[in-house]
Amino acid sequence: MIAFFASEVGWQVIGSGLHHDLSRQLLILEIDLEVLRERTNSKDLMAAMECQPLECLACLSAASSEVIFFHHLERAKGLTKGGLPEAKIRIRIVNYPESVMQIRSMKASAIGRLVTVCGTVVRIGVVRPRITQMDFTCNKCSTTSTRKFEDGKYTPPTACPGEGCRSKSFTPLKSTAHSIDWQKIRVQELQSAHRDSSGQIPRTIEVELKEDLVDSCTAGDVVTIVGIVKVINTEALAGGQKANNTKALFLLYIHAVSIVAKRSSAIRAAKRSDGRLKAEESDTEQMDESVPPNVTSFSNRDLQFIVKFHSDFAGHQFRHMVHALCPSIYGHELEKAGLVLALLGGVRKCVGTLDAVPLRGDIHVLMCGDPGLGKSQLLQAAAAVAPRGIYVCGNTSTSAGLTVTVVKDAVTGDHVFEAGALVLADRGACCIDEFEKMTSEHQASPSARHILSASGSMHEDCCRPCRTVKALHALLATMEQGEVAVARAGICATLPARTSVLAAANPVGGRWNRGKTVQQNLGLSAPMLSRFDLIFVMRDAPDAALDQRLSEHVLALHSGQVDRAHLAKQRLREHRAARGVPACSNALAGPSGRAPLEEQLLVYTAADEDPVPPQLLRKYIAYARAHVHPVLSDDAKQVLKEFYLELRRKAVGSVDSAPITTRQLESLVRLAEARARADLRQEVTRADAEDVVDIMKACLLDKLLDDTGVLDFRSTGSKSKQKEAKRFMGALAKRCQLAGSNLITTAQLYSLADDLDLAVPDTDAFISELNEAGELLKKGGNSYQVQCVSSASLGSTQTQSQSASLQMRF
């Protein structure tokens, strides 16, 4: 090895990986094992690396040290600024694909071998000093001996090495102690590695870092570790009476030789010329804040695909990305578009100085509505496409599981952080399914609630479970600020959680009730709903022809018949085209004659029949987040400004309504930036802003405009029913005035409903809702009392009270 390293080919291996750790006065030599094997062509080297890694690493260290300090000293000084320290060289082996092993496959046969594992860092311990060697003095003859502590085990001498002395009493010389930095982390296997292991929890393993490897990663990073598998006796972990019973039990851990956090090589975004808006900078990493830490540098093959995709679909990249997201789910183009924009994200920026509070660029999306429409599959597809995606279920998640847990280390006794889903998804996407089921313990037992509800002693709304206050508060702060503040066990810290929350929720009653608001259907608080940039209400409207074609599509997918599935999807498109695309609400439409975004997304070409695979789509999204930092053009600003001001004018002016604030304007800006990123443009155009306005109209305005054109967040889904209820009660009041009585029979109610031709799906349910709202009071003998008609004065109707009451209750 000395002869090889001394040659020009060998010196290239040393020169490419040699650097100087000034703080620890160490020489670090990073060796790519694949390159070394190709250039040395030595079979003995690889055999020794596999069977005896410690001895092989020692040989490499000795050979490289000989060459650096004796053969190429001057060349080595030129590579390391600050001179060469008089110390051993630390060898860091990287790129050893033959040793790749899954954490769950690591058994006793791997002890002592060099392995490569990849996983997510879920726990970070504190950096502590470890004593490697120390001198001891014999208390009898004063002989000094040096002891080395292997693997951190304190082993004082058992007998004096002095001639003729058999003393067993020694005094440690603490001034001669040599210490190194030591840290322990816990790594969990990647989700893709254990996705096929049904019913098994993801495996974890402890990793030991020393010297220059400490603080090389943070919680949530995806790392590749090359290390030697070792064991530790569980007696060191157990205490008391358990110690005697665990002497023969050992735990596996990895002594890290090298650790590489997968980070992007993207350059930092250029600073704004006016000096007022600057991309947020980091003191520890030269990368944009929107790039996930598990994104590797892009290879030439990746860049070729990105260039080809951008050129082949020039001007239609966004449409093809929408079609490529979960192609097995037909339709829901706008919902898919919102998810794609959330994956792309906006630009995180600071206003003023870099120490100011940053403006988040993460986009949060909520999909709610009738069950069985593919919301969960869309979330899983988004998690698979995201450069860094975490998928969790709300009914099995806790506040600590979402944010961070403080646990006590069994060996050191320190309190350490264990990252939750939001922290693990930093600069990525956290997909939360069953969002409405994140509930705490019920206020009463199920049997008691059932009895009280059945007997009428308790209203059905009181029987619903209470929501976890801690989990909601954690989500509220994280979704807005992008960080998790922890104050537990004497530890006060703030962890980054710059993640896009993509949530799916089902209505409380199992079906979407159009007579109730989004807040009432989901049981979510108004502050929580206000955190979402986009809220999609998905409804299952009966359609015989569509249901027939959709059933053919689903059966073809399950039977594995690709041609039949393609034909069924083509029939679905033809049926949808025959019906005509529902026009987007023109209540706030601009003068532009462009086609709405929904019509643009319904266009399918031959290239759309073969969508981009999720792996390649993930690369494209990661590249856009890393290299594209768009700014708003003047035309885009004007479009967003006019739309926002129109929203303000249309908003309800009462105190009880949800106001339109600058939060909605910031959402529009983030969505417009994400739309520009889809086309890899550094400027947000007018077309981008108009597309975002179309999405905002479709997911909010069509469901929030009441009968008079007023915007009210409380009235989602009840616009038509409010209108019909007002018309019905107005006609009923006139009939009561003519009859001179405010009592009316059930038959007369049905007759009046038929005369008015009410646009309600169920007249019985409609009358029952009027009864529950207090507009009709049920009397004996199948009769009702009309409350809006005063019994004292049947000549006047309380129209103002009626209008206000209906708006509040429907």
Distance CA 337, CA 215 (A): 39
DSSP track, 196-242: TSTT-PPPEEEEEEEGGGTTS--TT-EEEEEEEEEEEEGGGT--GGG
Q: Say which residue, 61 or 454, is predicted with more confidence.
A: 61
Does residue 807 surpass a pLDDT of 50? no
Task: Using pLDDT thresholds of 50, 70 and 90, give the confidence band for residue 3.
Answer: confident
Residue-wise pLDDT tens digits, 473-513:
667 778 888 878 777 767 777 777 888 889 888 888 778 77
Across the range 128-141, mean pLDDT stands at 86
Which residues in 237-249 are b (16+ Cβ under 10 Å) and which e?
A: ebeeeeeeeeeee
- CATH 2.40.50.140 residue window(s) in the chain: 99-261
Predicted confidence at residue 598, as pLDDT, reads: 75
Q: For strand 429-433 and strand 277-279, is the pairing parallel, antiparallel, or unpaired?
A: unpaired
Q: Where are the alpha helices (DSSP H) in 412-561?
A: 421-424, 446-455, 469-481, 518-522, 526-530, 544-559
Predicted confidence at residue 794, as pLDDT, reads: 55
CB 313 within 8 A of CB 638: no
Does residue 694 surpass a pLDDT of 70? yes
Across the range 399-417, mean pLDDT stands at 72
- What is the residue-averaged pLDDT of the chain? 73
Across the range 335-356, mean pLDDT stands at 79
Residue 100 DSSP symbol: B
Note the CATH number of domain 718-809: 1.10.10
Top-confidence range, 547-556, 563-572, 779-788: 779-788
Predicted confidence at residue 701, as pLDDT, reads: 55
Predicted confidence at residue 266, as pLDDT, reads: 32
- CATH 3.30.1640 residue window(s) in the chain: 2-95
Architecture of domain 99-261: Beta Barrel (2.40)
Q: Say which residue, 656 or 245, is predicted with more confidence.
A: 245
Task: Using pLDDT thresholds of 50, 70 and 90, give the confidence band for residue 547.
Answer: low
Note the CATH number of domain 2-95: 3.30.1640
Distance CA 472, CA 686 (A): 37
Predicted confidence at residue 281, as pLDDT, reads: 39
Lowest-pLDDT range, 72-76, 95-99, 237-241? 237-241
Q: Is 85 exposed, middle or buried (0-12, 13-18, 19+ CB in 10 A)?
A: middle
Residues 6+ apart with CB under 8 A from 616: 305, 309
Across the range 20-29, mean pLDDT stands at 73
Predicted confidence at residue 805, as pLDDT, reads: 44
Q: Say which residue, 123 or 792, is predicted with more confidence.
A: 123
Distance CA 57, CA 93 (A): 9
Does residue 225 surpass a pLDDT of 50? yes
Predicted confidence at residue 404, as pLDDT, reads: 76
Q: Backbone phi, then psi, for 464, in 5-degree steps?
A: -75, 145
Give strand pairing partners of 349: 279, 359
Q: For strand 358-359 and strand 349-351, is the pairing parallel, antiparallel, or unpaired?
A: antiparallel
Predicted confidence at residue 76, as pLDDT, reads: 61
Task: Using pLDDT thresholds of 50, 70 and 90, give the confidence band for residue 457.
Answer: very low
Token pair 């689903």 is found at: 554
Predicted confidence at residue 599, as pLDDT, reads: 75
Token pair 């009660």 is found at: 729
* CA 734 to the chain's CA centroid: 56
Does residue 801 surpass a pLDDT of 50? no
- CATH 3.40.50.300 residue window(s) in the chain: 364-444+462-532
Task: Using pLDDT thresholds of 50, 70 and 90, give the confidence band for residue 467.
Answer: very low
CB 262 within 8 A of CB 273: no
Lowest-pLDDT range, 5-9, 514-518, 655-659? 655-659
Nearest to 224 by CA among 294, 298, 287: 294
Q: Say which residue, 290 or 128, is predicted with more confidence.
A: 128
Across the range 574-582, mean pLDDT stands at 54
CATH topology of domain 364-444+462-532: Rossmann fold (3.40.50)
Residues belonging to the chain? 810
Across the range 425-451, mean pLDDT stands at 61
Lowest-pLDDT range, 266-280, 625-639, 734-748? 266-280
CB 684 within 8 A of CB 354: no
Q: Say which residue, 110 or 412, is predicted with more confidence.
A: 110
Top-confidence range, 76-80, 286-290, 464-468, 766-770: 766-770
- In order of 165, 312, 397, 628, 684, the CA distances from 305 in angstroms are 75, 10, 38, 17, 24
Distance CA 289, CA 793 (A): 68
Nearest to 81 by CA among 27, 119, 123: 27
CB 391 within 8 A of CB 431: yes
Top-confidence range, 229-233, 356-360, 491-495, 804-808: 229-233
Q: Which two tokens stand for residue 551?
A: 């059933």
Residues 6+ apart with CB under 8 A from 227: 114, 115, 117, 207, 208, 254, 255, 256, 257, 258
Predicted confidence at residue 80, as pLDDT, reads: 57
Residues 6+ apart with CB under 8 A from 142: none
Cross-sheet strand order for the sheet of 358-359: 277-279, 349-351, 358-359
Does residue 584 surpass a pLDDT of 50? no
User: Three-class SS of residue 141?
Assistant: coil
Task: Using pLDDT thresholds of 50, 70 and 90, give the confidence band for residue 270.
Answer: very low
- CATH 1.10.10 residue window(s) in the chain: 718-809
- C-alpha torsion sign, points 159, 161, 167, 173: negative
Does residue 196 surpass a pLDDT of 80? no
pTM of the model: 0.67
DSSP track, 601-637: HT---TGGGSPPPHHHHHHHHHHHHHH---EE-HHHH
Q: What end-to-end distance do the CA atoms of the chain give, in Å?
A: 83
pLDDT above 90 covers what percent of the chain? 1
